[in-house]
């Protein structure tokens, strides 16, 4: 287990960012400036980059919604990057609708924005629209949703690996037997699919664990209802993992209302301050830190780099992540976490506040 002392966080994270991996199962990936060895089909270098005239760039961003706290925090980080790199960001909410995402993207194509960033509900459904953007000379970034086109770049985390870790932690925590629940987003969403697969693969190693899985569509009210239904049908449930902090919070309320908070182990994903605080006070056993504000900043920065830097040969770009646990809890799972970056809740929240120190590139738009 690799500890990440608070004072060493920025340097550690920068090294991780340049390496673009966080764990033995992570897929190596390049950022637009790191020159890492590609591991998948190459994109043409510099197809659309434009001359820096000092003009303000305009990026269109199509989000699943703009009410989930993760997406709200992404906006904050993205706007900081916009200030740093002279970008006008136009944020649009699809309100959970694929059809809305397509329509909003088509509007951005007609408006001739410089880059389109989309958080796909279903990646495959957007391929035709992304092809239209490519034909119009607009590069695209699918944030956590892979679409295999030369002018599209996918920004993701090491989701499958991290959720495999969480699955192994929960399996050990429940004594390798009993009922464990997984609340995932929705089928066809790359983030959800990878997180679900990683967790499933871990639980499959423990045949005496019964896995109960339900989608929650990244929606806290849906997550609340799903958790209530699972509890009603499975009063002997031992643990639950939710792949989104906002939904985990709602699910925990259902657990608390049922008087089960001391009986059911909870883990989460995202590393929002509220989720990290829940680890600190013992409501959650563990969290996975992605960092919503950092994610928003990074994605906007990637868009700027597509404008002014040679394009990366790797089209899937990874942002490093960390496991959030209390030290005394992490020690219990030292065998599972031996080669992982583990941070305390306090350190996790500090990382969330110092993302600009890691990512800011003064050479862009100078």
Query: Mean pLDDT of all residues in the chain?
Result: 86
Same domain, 171 and 248: yes
pLDDT at 205: 97
Same domain as 334, residue 307: no
Q: pLDDT tens digit string along 173-188? A: 999 999 999 999 998 8
114 with 196, same domain: the answer is no
The neighbouring-strand residues paired with 183 are 214, 242
Query: Residue 94's Cα: distance from chain center in Å?
Result: 18
Asked if residues 75 and 45 have their Cβ atoms less than 8 Å apart, the reply is: no
Residue 177 shares a structural domain with residue 310: no
pLDDT of residue 73: 92
The pTM score is: 0.71
Judgement on whether residues 186 and 272 belong to the same structural domain of the protein = yes
Q: What is the pLDDT of residue 295?
A: 92
Distance CA 79, CA 185 (A): 26
Q: 106 with 173, same domain?
A: no
CA atoms of 20 and 39, how far apart (whole Å): 12
Is 298 in the same domain as 349?
Answer: no
Residues 328 and 309 both lie in one domain = no
Q: 325 and 263 in one domain?
A: yes
Backbone angles phi, psi at 54, to 5 degrees: 85, -5
Q: Which residues contact 234 (CB under 8 A, 6 or more apart)?
A: 179, 181, 212
Residue 198 lies in a domain: yes
Task: Give the integer Cα–Cα distance in Å for 10 and 156.
Answer: 20
Length of the chain: 366
CATH of the domain at 183: 3.40.50.2300
pLDDT < 50 stretches in the chain: 4-47
Same domain, 202 and 237: yes
Say whether both 37 and 102 belong to one domain.
yes
Whether residue 366 is contained in a domain is answered as: no
Instruction: Tell me the residue range of the domain where 55 lies.
Output: 24-157+292-319
CA–CA gap between residue 332 and residue 210 (Å, rounded): 23
Helices (H), 20-97: 69-85
Total domains in the chain come to: 2
Structural domain contains residue 146: yes
Given this model, what pLDDT does residue 42 score? 36
């Amino acid at each position: 287990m690799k500890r990440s002392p608070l004072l060493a966080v920025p340097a550690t994270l920068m090294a991780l960012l340049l390496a673009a991996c966080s764990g033995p199962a992570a897929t190596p990936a390049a950022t637009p400036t790191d020159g890492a060895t590609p591991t998948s089909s190459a994109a043409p270098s510099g197809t659309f980059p434009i001359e820096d005239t000092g003009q303000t760039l305009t990026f269109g961003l199509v989000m699943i919604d703009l009410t989930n706290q993760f997406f709200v925090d992404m906006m904050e980080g993205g706007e900081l990057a916009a200030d740093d790199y002279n970008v006008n960001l136009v944020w649009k909410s699809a309100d959970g609708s694929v059809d809305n995402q397509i329509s909003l993207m088509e509007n951005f194509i007609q408006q001739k924005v410089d880059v389109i960033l989309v958080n796909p509900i279903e990646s495959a459904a957007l391929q035709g629209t992304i092809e239209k953007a490519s034909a119009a000379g607009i590069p695209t970034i699918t944030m956590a949703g892979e679409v295999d086109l030369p002018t599209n770049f996918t920004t993701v985390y090491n989701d499958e690996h991290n959720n495999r870790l969480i699955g192994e932690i929960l399996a050990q925590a429940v004594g390798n037997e009993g009922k464990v629940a997984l609340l995932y987003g929705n089928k066809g969403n790359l983030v959800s699919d990878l997180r679900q697969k990683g967790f499933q693969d871990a639980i499959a190693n423990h045949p005496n664990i019964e896995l109960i899985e339900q989608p929650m569509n990244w929606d806290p009210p849906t997550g609340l209802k799903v958790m209530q239904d699972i509890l009603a049908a499975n009063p002997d449930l031992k643990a639950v993992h939710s792949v989104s902090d906002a939904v985990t919070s709602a699910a925990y309320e259902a657990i608390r209302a049922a008087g089960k908070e001391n009986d059911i182990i909870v883990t989460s994903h995202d590393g929002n301050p509220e989720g990290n605080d829940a680890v600190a006070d013992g409501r959650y056993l563990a969290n996975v830190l992605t960092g919503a504000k950092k994610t928003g900043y990074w994605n906007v920065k990637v868009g700027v780099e597509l404008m002014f830097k040679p394009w990366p040969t790797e089209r899937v770009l990874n942002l490093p992540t960390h496991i959030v646990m209390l030290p005394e809890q992490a020690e219990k799972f030292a065998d599972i976490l031996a080669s992982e970056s583990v941070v305390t809740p306090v350190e996790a929240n500090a990382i969330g506040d110092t993302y600009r120190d890691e990512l800011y590139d003064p050479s862009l738009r100078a």
